[in-house]
């Protein structure tokens, strides 16, 4: 599976990042817009560098689906 980055204003695809083995169920963008965290039904959370469109870190072996989100409003 892959995650796409899009330009909402221009309605265009900027790039795609592949890595998850199953569906991406949640996503959160850092406040500065430089990183994205994705959570998947493959029980991983992945951290991506938006500018380079590369995987920075994988956190695995979650007991449930990998989920990301903000509790404090601080972002990734």
**pLDDT single digits (tens) 21-55:** 788 888 888 888 888 888 888 888 889 888 888 88
**Which is higher by pLDDT, 68 or 73?**
68
Q: Domain range for residue 53?
A: 2-59
Number of domains comprising the chain: 1
Q: Is the pLDDT of residue 2 over 80?
A: no
User: pLDDT class for 18, splitting at 50, 70, 90?
Assistant: confident
Q: Is residue 69 part of a domain?
A: no
Q: What percent of the chain has pLDDT over 90?
A: 3
Predicted model pTM:
0.68
DSSP 28-72: EE-TTSSEEEEEETTS-EEEEETTTTEEEEEE---SS------SS
């Amino acid at each position: 599976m892959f995650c796409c980055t899009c330009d909402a204003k221009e309605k265009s695809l900027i790039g795609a990042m592949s890595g998850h083995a199953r569906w991406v169920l949640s996503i959160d963008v850092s406040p500065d817009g430089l990183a994205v965290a994705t959570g998947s039904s493959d029980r991983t959370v992945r951290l991506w560098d938006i500018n380079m469109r590369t995987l920075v870190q994988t956190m695995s072996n979650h007991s449930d689906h990998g989920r990301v989100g903000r509790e404090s409003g601080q972002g990734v």
